[in-house]
Structure 1
Amino acid sequence: MQETHIAQPPKAHWYDGLTPTHWRVLRGSFLGWIFDGFEALALVVVLAPMLKSVLTPAQAQSTPVYAGVIIGITLLGWGVGGMVGGILADYVGRKRMMLWSVFLYALFSGLTAFSNTFVVLCSLRFLTGLAMGSEWSTGVALVSETWPEHARAKGAGILQSGFGWGTLLAAVVWYALASTQPLGTETWRLMFIVGALPAFFVLYLRRGLNESAKWQQAVKEKRWNATSDDRPRPVSGAGKEDKRPFTLTQLFTEREALRRTLLTTLLSIVATTGWWAISSWLPTFTVSLAKGTGALDAAAWESRISIIYTAGAIVAYLASGFIVDAIGRRAFLCMTFVGALITTIITYHYTATLSGMLIIAPINGFFTLGCAYAWMAIYPCELFTPTVRSTAISFVFNAARLIAWVFPIISGSMIKAFGGVAHAALIMSSCYVLGIVIPWFLPETRGKGMPE
């Protein structure tokens, strides 16, 4: 079993040869990923009024603790849901998991609006996370297995940008709701209803999508190997070798699969650890910078800097497919983490004015959020075969979430221990050094088809 090298005639445009079916698959996956972005920011922007509504007077005395818990619980749900959903997608199909994912997301997100206690809120946030967790891996697997080779990386980059557009949408919706306050102090509840209702429209769109033919064929032919570099197994005959192994186990029992899984997961942890520290502490750092320079509207800089940071990431998402095809996967990863390290040092150590922050924040977002996550939608798909692909990419993506969910809970202690937000962010960004080195121990896949 070898990787498929695809010789194709030159294309005048990268989108030449794409059919309405290709765009329909991308649209359905893209819109679903928007909800993840919307949910991620919606929870953050409504956190203060939401906790004020559901916490008892005694609980309100420790609001920062409860804020960390609710964010951590949501991340944990995303991690667990992504892991389970990714595995199931390799058994029941990408389309079926996508349909269930968006339906359950709409249901539990909508129910969040009716939370009346902290326990109920935590339960619904965890269930919403479980539902949304498999959204990314199933969408990425379906696009990668249906789009032609010459356009696949570009399509994956466009898909990944859905998260950024979702966060911007949440920022705009919350700005409108907060300005008008239609439900007074309970207006936060509308954010979850607004996020849930469009999901039913996407559910309708996805009913018309076709299942991945590559996945179906691989299952039919019983091609169970996790990578093309592992020793082939017979595809016919009786006995143990004809029985399908558990996909998650394969990632750790087949030698080449284990190496690729561990290295890409470590890269994912590096990206998530750096992004979490930089993005979550950037608004606080900017507000303190605004106060220190005497800005009249210091508090307003929290949302402003978040928006331009995300705008930089969206540019990276859209450009990533073109860059990665031009310079290769390993060089792209190395460039990403070099850029993330340098721009983070500039952001937290050398930036002393708001005008300077307006310049560096989107560049930092380009590397630490945009490029640092775009590769996950492109590269891991090229390292694993169809029968384990969804399991592999969901493990790589969500293993980091299963580690990162504790960070919001211990955030305050970390800042205190490291001597302030700036020092904490700089120390956490040192993990990017690993990201610069690790890619060179992985195979280069540019110009090759995905392993079959």
Structure 2
Amino acid sequence: MLNMTRYQWTVLFAAWLGWGFDIFDSLLFNYVAPNCVPTLLGLTIGSPEAKQATLYWTGILTSVLLLGWAAGGILFGWVCDRIGRTRTLLLTMLMYALGTAACAFADNIWMLLAFRIVASLGIGGEWAAGASMVAEVVPEDKRVEAGALLYTAAPFGLFLATFVNFQVAGNWMAASPETSWRYVFLFGLLPAAIAFLVRLFLKEPERWTQARENTRPPRIAELFGPSVRRYTLSGFLMALVALITWWSCNAFIPVVSAGLAQSEAALRGLDKAGTLALVESWKLTATAAFNFGGLVGTLLTIPAAKLLGRRAMFAIYFAASAAAIFAVFGLDLPGETRLYMYFAIGLSVFGVFGSFTYYLPELFPTRLRGTGAGFCYNAGRVFAAAGPFLVGIIAARGVDAAVGVLFWVGVVPLAALLMMPWVIETKGQRLAD
């Protein structure tokens, strides 16, 4: 990576910030849900009715987020092939920042739902623009490293969301859970400032500029033509499995850790303040373990992809994902031990996403790169949306039910091993023009 120019580093850093804040804004709701949902529904925070409603609405709102994410990803993937990577990056970052901040002013659950839809369209659209821009600007022999480094922004976004929630809801406004969640959402405005910096320092990649001048505008239907169809299928299947697994596990980390903490607090005989403090502490522990595992797993895709190839890398990560999920949710573990075991899930379930930032752009020519990568990475969210919804309905019965149903999520990456014959190997190939 040391032979990259200053501008190439600037492009990578700008895309890194865009993706990190993308994850940051998308996950803020998961942290504030135990306080936000009961408040908007007029329920007492911490009551059995509030816990049940939180699990139920976490499933619904996460599924809606994924549907909006899918729509935004496909739409803006196509848009970035037509108007450019930089313009699309700016537009989508502003969209998800304003949509997230607007959630702070929701008066009821339906307003929250509407604002989340707006944010989800921008969240979905940002990835294709950033990934395409990095793939087209960095040197050919550094594409894997640059792509994996780009995805390390996801653990950064997750950590930032955890930190903001812990500081606001766990420290500064711990005594006011009915209002603290609104201030957490206001931090969603942070990406808006970064978006303007993106516009000032970045230009459109030369690859895209030349392709736009010499070829006709892209159409989504081209992804299913005879010459491209098998590449689309390869990218879609791998992203689909990863998305279903990640969202089914990650969406419920705060809820599961909060439930485990509340059970532990009851055993310790803690009062309300002590219980709230333990809940926020355990949420931080679980997400930090998952986050750190994801960071390590993301970086490990570099040697795995370069030495073993993309197909073998996917097989290893999906097998490890199944093993981690079965162990964490199938073994009889103490609550606190289960929190630290989230590292193994992060290493595999989270880590595999480090490959998509370079693998999906490798599958398509320049004029179709944003459209193809955006479709493959986001179309699967339509199916992935069913995961959190079903898990949420079952998990509404309690934390034990949540752990039980999460165990069966491990079947998804295990089944992915049967899909390996359809995976296109791109190791050693140059980016297609």
**TM-score, normalising length: structure 1:** 0.83
Equivalence for 2:366: 386
CA RMSD of aligned residues (A): 2.8
Change (3 A) 1:251 1:205: closer
Cα displacement string for residues 315-342 of structure 1 (whole angstroms, at most 9, x for unaligned residues)? 2223322331122111111111111112
Residue identity opposite 2:53 in structure 1? T
Equivalence for 2:123: 132
Superposed counterparts of 1:99-248, under 5 Å: 99-178=90-169, 179-181=171-173, 184=176, 185-222=178-215, 244=217, 246-248=218-220
Contact 1:351 1:357 in 2 (8 A): no
Residue identity opposite 2:370 in structure 1? S
Q: 1:411 deviation in Å?
A: 2.4
Contact 1:40 1:167 in 2 (8 A): no
* SS of equivalent residue, structure 1 residue 41: helix
Change (3 A) 1:295 1:199: farther
Contact 1:32 1:199 in 2 (8 A): no
Query: What is the CA–CA distance in structure 1 between the aligned matches of 2:414 and 2:420, rounded to whole Å?
Result: 11
Equivalence for 2:271: none
Cα displacement string for residues 405-428 of structure 1 (whole angstroms, at most 9, x for unaligned residues)? 2433332444589x9334422322
Q: 1:272 deviation in Å?
A: 1.5
Q: 1:201 deviation in Å?
A: 3.1
Superposed counterparts of 1:237-276, under 5 Å: 244=217, 246-252=218-224, 254-276=225-247
Cα displacement string for residues 250-306 of structure 1 (whole angstroms, at most 9, x for unaligned residues)? 011x22411221232122121112222333455666667674899747744343112
Query: What is the CA–CA distance in structure 1 between the aligned matches of 2:58 and 2:142, rounded to whole Å?
Result: 42
Query: What is the CA–CA distance in structure 2 between the aligned matches of 1:361 and 1:161, rounded to whole Å?
Result: 18
Residue identity opposite 1:369 in structure 2? F
Q: 1:39 deviation in Å?
A: 1.6
Equivalence for 1:409: 389
> Which stretch shifts more, 185-194 or 324-333?
185-194
Contact 1:28 1:206 in 2 (8 A): no
Q: 1:356 deviation in Å?
A: 4.9
Contact 1:281 1:425 in 2 (8 A): no
Query: What is the CA–CA distance in structure 2 between the aligned matches of 1:264 and 1:399, rounded to whole Å?
Result: 10
Matched, 1:46 2:27: no
Query: What is the CA–CA distance in structure 1 between the aligned matches of 2:18 and 2:175, rounded to whole Å?
Result: 28
Change (3 A) 1:331 1:57: closer
Change (3 A) 1:214 1:345: same
Query: What is the CA–CA distance in structure 2 between the aligned matches of 1:354 and 1:409, rounded to whole Å?
Result: 24
Query: What is the CA–CA distance in structure 1 between the aligned matches of 2:143 and 2:61, rounded to whole Å?
Result: 37
Q: 1:345 deviation in Å?
A: 1.9
> Which stretch shifts more, 202-211 or 352-361?
352-361
Equivalence for 1:63: 53
* SS of equivalent residue, structure 2 residue 105: coil
Equivalence for 1:79: 70
Q: 1:109 deviation in Å?
A: 2.3
Equivalence for 2:285: 304
Cα displacement string for residues 138-196 of structure 1 (whole angstroms, at most 9, x for unaligned residues)? 00000001000121111111111111111111111111112111893312122222221
* Equivalent in 355, 373, 390 of residue 375 of structure 1: 355
Contact 2:25 2:97 in 1 (8 A): no
Contact 1:289 1:353 in 2 (8 A): no
Contact 2:148 2:299 in 1 (8 A): yes
> Which stretch shifts more, 278-287 or 290-299?
290-299
Change (3 A) 1:66 1:286: closer
Aligned residues: 414
- Calculate percent identity across the aligned residue pairs: 25
Residue identity opposite 2:219 in structure 1? T
* Equivalent in 27, 31, 34 of residue 13 of structure 2: 27
Structure with more helix by fraction: 2
Equivalence for 1:363: 344
Equivalence for 1:4: none
Equivalence for 1:436: 417
Q: 1:96 deviation in Å?
A: 0.9
Query: What is the CA–CA distance in structure 2 between the aligned matches of 1:16 and 1:118, rounded to whole Å?
Result: 49
Contact 1:289 1:352 in 2 (8 A): no
Point out the structure with max Rg over C-alpha: 1
Contact 2:73 2:121 in 1 (8 A): yes
* SS of equivalent residue, structure 1 residue 420: helix
Residue identity opposite 2:196 in structure 1? L
Contact 1:153 1:322 in 2 (8 A): no
Query: What is the CA–CA distance in structure 2 between the aligned matches of 1:278 and 1:260, rounded to whole Å?
Result: 28
Superposed counterparts of 1:310-329, under 5 Å: 310-329=291-310
Q: 1:386 deviation in Å?
A: 0.6
> Which stretch shifts more, 171-180 or 136-145?
171-180
Moved over 6 A (4+): 287-290, 292-295
Unaligned 5+ segments in structure 2 are 269-274
